[in-house]
Structure 1
Amino acid sequence: MQSNSGVLSQGQMSLKQIHIQGIDMFGSNVGFLKFKADVLDNETGKKVPGIVFSRGPAVAVLILLKSSGEDYVVLTEQARVPVGRLILELPAGMLDGDGTDIVGTAVREVEEETGISLNSADMVNLTAFLDPSTGCKIFPSAGGCDEEISLFLYKGQVDQGVIDALRGKEMGLRDHGELIKVHVVPYRKLWRMTADSKVLSAVALYEMAIRDGLLPS
């Protein structure tokens, strides 16, 4: 809020106080934070909604693998307790430490969740195509959560045996509670196979970047 593009720096609003309501630790580090911020609109003097679930920045990767003339996407399946469902998602994860190694985190999360080793130099930041005024991130639930996601693209060509080996592969860091099953689906069917906002946002950015000549078709 105090950044150059934030509402406090532009004089639109004022922050009076913050009430910390809950903290979840990840080892010795703060993981999730729940708080309420008392923020006033300077013009009307009225409070604006300020209940926040804070989890910080994250990354996700759209992996496109071409094999036998078909484009495939690698997804992960995990049980998501908040929505009570198994969800097909892009390989993704939260940024650790100071949150500056975005590409490195994306590569690491892909390997942990799918077993695929990627080269950082081959990663394309899809969210970097957004206008700078957006922060070049996507905000999946800006009304209640501060999470901002950088979406990356990786494209490669593999033998059919690689596709077959990935299907149904069980991955994840068991000590972190990750029970992940890998899925490989045709890209042409992807947009109807999941309600994961990361998938649908990545598809939209990818298709629009091709349409505008920012990426080869």
Structure 2
Amino acid sequence: MSFNHPEHDIPVSLPMGLSAEQSWISTLQHSLHLQTQNASHPFHSDPYVLRSVTVQAYDLFGEKRVGFLKLVSDVSNGAGEKLPGAVFLRGPSVAMLVMLVPDDAPAETDERYVLLTVQPRIAAGSLEFAELPAGMVDEAGNFAGTAANEIREELGLEIPQEELINLSDMAFPAAAAAAAAATTEGKEKNENLPQAMFPSAGGCDEYIPIFMHERRVPREQLGEWTGRLTGLREHGEKITLKLVRMRDLWREGARDAKCLAALALWEGLRREGRL
């Protein structure tokens, strides 16, 4: 099925039974618009244009909800130069840095433990992939609520969503203020990308805001976390928990982009005295 996108007037080709994906096109079109608006943009003299989108394949979650999309976009400039346009759309996720501190540790302590999940990740070719707990955001787009639900399902902890700290939001205030000032002056430069980490921006639209929670627990309970089986087993989540020292997190989670990003955000915000 082929048609012209009603908002952006570009040809779109879809497999039968699939409706158009709106948000990714709108975000990209906004960034392309900035080329012509700002003379300092590196592509201002010969701006790139989104000329067509072809969806090649898709997966459904259940009977109707679109899960994953694979598409090819034609983005080129007047000289015929093209930008890489193969895209895997899977939407946003959240990740959670959950730290446990022994209750007998002093108030100012560096003794922290982080909960990791160990589970099969077929795409990575692994049956024991260690990573921060994470989950895809539901259709309502409630990031904090999704994080709280994933913590409950994967870690067995009940944490009200209002007690979660969004590390990604905390990392962006200066950039957000600068963008607001530029918009006020009529020289918008902000691409309006989500305040989150993009683990594979070269080919995937997924972005991941990272939340944090820290709590004190009885020291004798720390050993109970490692090896605990969790997750929605009926949905194929075969999760085993692993407790690691915060000082070893960079090594234990070195294969997980979410883990390394969370550690960098936490250390950077601590360095600035904001945590």
Check whether TM > 0.5.
Answer: yes
**Once the 2 structures are TM-superposed, how far is the Cα of residue 5 of structure 1 from its aligned partner?**
8.6
Identity of matched residues, %: 40
Q: 2-side partners of 1:4 and 1:16: how far apart?
A: 12
Per the alignment, residue 52 of structure 1 pairs with 87
Q: Deviations over 1:57-107 (max 9, x none)?
A: 0100000110143310011001111121221111100011132x1100000
Per the alignment, residue 211 of structure 1 pairs with 271
1:1-217 matches, cutoff 5 A: 2-3=26-27, 6-11=30-35, 12-27=47-62, 28-42=64-78, 44-67=79-102, 68-69=104-105, 70-85=111-126, 86-99=128-141, 101-128=142-169, 129-130=171-172, 131-132=175-176, 135-194=194-253, 195-215=255-275
The alignment partner of 1:8 has SS state of helix
Q: 1-side partners of 2:66 and 2:149: how far apart?
A: 21
**Once the 2 structures are TM-superposed, how far is the Cα of residue 162 of structure 1 from its aligned partner?**
2.9
Tell whether the 8 Å contact from 1:3 to 1:9 is kept in structure 2 after alignment: no
Counterpart AA for 2:82: K
Q: Deviations over 1:108-133 (max 9, x none)?
A: 01111111111212211111122335
Q: 2-side partners of 1:29 and 1:2: how far apart?
A: 20
The alignment partner of 1:207 has SS state of helix
Moved over 6 A (4+): none
Tell whether the 8 Å contact from 1:2 to 1:9 is kept in structure 2 after alignment: no
The alignment partner of 2:91 has SS state of coil
Larger CA deviation: 6-15 vs 101-110: 6-15
Change in Cα spacing, 1:9 to 1:171, as seen in structure 2 (3 Å) is same
Tell whether the 8 Å contact from 2:93 to 2:136 is kept in structure 1 after alignment: yes
> Tell me, which stretches of 5 or more residues in structure 2 are unaligned?
1-24, 36-46, 106-110, 177-189
The structure number with the bigger radius of gyration is: 2
Kindly indicate which of the two structures has a greater share of residues assigned to helix. Answer: 2
**Once the 2 structures are TM-superposed, how far is the Cα of residue 8 of structure 1 from its aligned partner?**
2.3
Counterpart AA for 1:200: L
Q: For this pair of structures, how many residues does the alignment match?
A: 213
> Tell me, which stretches of 5 or more residues in structure 1 are unaligned?
none
Change in Cα spacing, 1:124 to 1:53, as seen in structure 2 (3 Å) is same
Tell whether the 8 Å contact from 2:29 to 2:50 is kept in structure 1 after alignment: no
Q: Deviations over 1:146-187 (max 9, x none)?
A: 000000110110012332222111111123211100111111
The normalised TM-score by structure 1 is 0.92
